[in-house]
């Protein structure tokens, strides 16, 4: 089974020049924590609720003036849509990440693969369970 068969498609994104206030409002409306950051069709980062809290709020930055570009995570771990789901799950386990952006072969963002996608759409409860266990184990991350 390939990633494109189980990933979440039609992913909402935010522009790098958007303010943190705009991004936070979008996160609230969509009830999500991470937002891919795209400059046109190119994925340039990911903004998480933690980025806003730790990199902006804790430093006293003004969310109406601070741009997404200033606090987004730029070190991206991605997978490609025709990659095998088990291979993608192993990457999520080793990097301890719950969601990973999915790119096409021409580097366009086409989706997100999450733990929920693995659990609900693969019919492989062992794969989903092992991935959740590895992602949730404290102290294993290389970050």
pLDDT digits (tens, 9 = 90+) for 20-41: 999 999 999 999 989 999 998 8
Phi-psi category of residue 10: left, alpha or beta, with phi > 0 → left and psi -120 to 50 → alpha: left
Which pLDDT score is estimated for 130? 63
The 10 Å Cβ neighbour count of residue 52 is 24
Average pLDDT, the chain: 88
Determine the Cα–Cα distance for residues 118 and 122; give it in Å rounded to an integer: 5
Tokens standing for residue 47? 């903004």
Give 15-32 as a DSSP string. Answer: -TTSBHHHHHHHHHHHT-
pLDDT in tens, 87-121: 998 998 888 888 999 999 999 999 999 888 887 76
Decide: 6 and 118 in contact? Cβ < 8 Å. Answer: yes
pTM: predicted TM-score of the whole model, two decimal places:
0.82
């Amino acid at each position: 089974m390939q990633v494109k068969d189980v990933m979440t498609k039609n992913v909402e994104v935010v522009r790098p020049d958007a303010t943190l206030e705009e991004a936070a409002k979008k996160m609230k409306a969509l009830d999500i924590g991470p937002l891919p950051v795209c400059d046109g069709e190119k994925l340039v980062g990911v903004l998480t609720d933690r980025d806003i809290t730790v990199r902006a709020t804790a430093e006293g930055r003004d969310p109406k003036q601070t741009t997404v570009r200033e606090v987004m995570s730029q070190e991206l771990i991605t997978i490609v849509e025709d990659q095998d789901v088990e291979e993608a799950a192993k990457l999520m386990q080793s990097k301890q990440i719950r969601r990973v952006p999915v790119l096409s072969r021409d580097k366009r963002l086409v989706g997100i693969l999450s733990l929920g996608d693995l659990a609900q759409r693969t019919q492989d409860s062992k794969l989903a369970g092992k991935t959740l266990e590895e992602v949730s184990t404290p102290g294993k991350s290389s970050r």
